[in-house]
A and B are shown apart, each in its own frame.
Chain A
């Protein structure tokens, strides 16, 4: 089966600019996750969707980050405006059900200058 797709793979922006990432989960997977992985650290969960509803966004910096999952399939994560400390790899994962095995995408590497 096709895996989780993410785009773009790399993005370089200047601070205070906006950026958006896209994720297409595995077909039929109800749960979608966005993680932020800063260099040298483990992934940190930003937001979890169950279909098109938010299950957990407790660690999402809501003053600058937003995410949506319209129609319960694809998802976008936006940062507006970006800060230097947002430089990281942004991972998307999906699972068939909540607490099922998570399948990860390749990630988007964001560099904020």
Chain B
């Protein structure tokens, strides 16, 4: 069965420090990976998807099929990056559709 794990429930970094939010997945086929973000008192929203291969708000994520990982990175964290981050996977078969990880709360300290 497909599964997404995010080992850190909470990650605290200082402003200007690099950030890496870890995401590992298990899936037998070729998945599509996403990062969703929820800022305080806002709705869950898409941050980026691996097929786009673009940088959003300074964040990037590379799909590593060998390590089955899709870590989210940003070289210099900003206070406005503080939010809940969810890694998600989309499969292709019935019963293997959209799966979210448990989430990591990023806190960027001044």
Contacts and interface: CB of A to CB of B under 8 A. Distances in A.
Interface residues of B, number: 19
Interface in A82-101: 91, 93, 99, 101
Contacts of A41: 102-103
Contacts of A103: 45
A59 B94 CA distance: 11
Interface residues of A, number: 24
Given A41-B102, A42-B103, A55 B86 contact: no
Contacts of B57: none
Given A42-B102, A42-B103, A43-B86, A48 B46 contact: no
Contact of B100 (A42, A56, A107): A42
B43 A58 contact: no
A42 B45 CA distance: 13
A21 interface: no
Contacts, number: 46
B83 interface: no
A7 interface: no
A40 B86 contact: no
A54 B101 CA distance: 24
B43 A48 contact: no
30 contacts: A3-B43, A33-B98, A35-B100, A40-B102, A41-B102, A42-B4, A42-B86, A42-B88, A42-B102, A42-B103, A43-B44, A43-B86, A45-B97, A45-B98, A45-B99, A48-B98, A55-B94, A56-B94, A56-B95, A56-B97, A58-B94, A58-B97, A91-B44, A99-B90, A102-B98, A104-B43, A104-B44, A104-B45, A105-B43, A107-B43
Closest 3 A-B residue pairs measured CB to CB?
A42-B100, A58-B95, A104-B44
Interface of B: 4, 32, 43-46, 49, 86, 88, 90, 94-95, 97-103
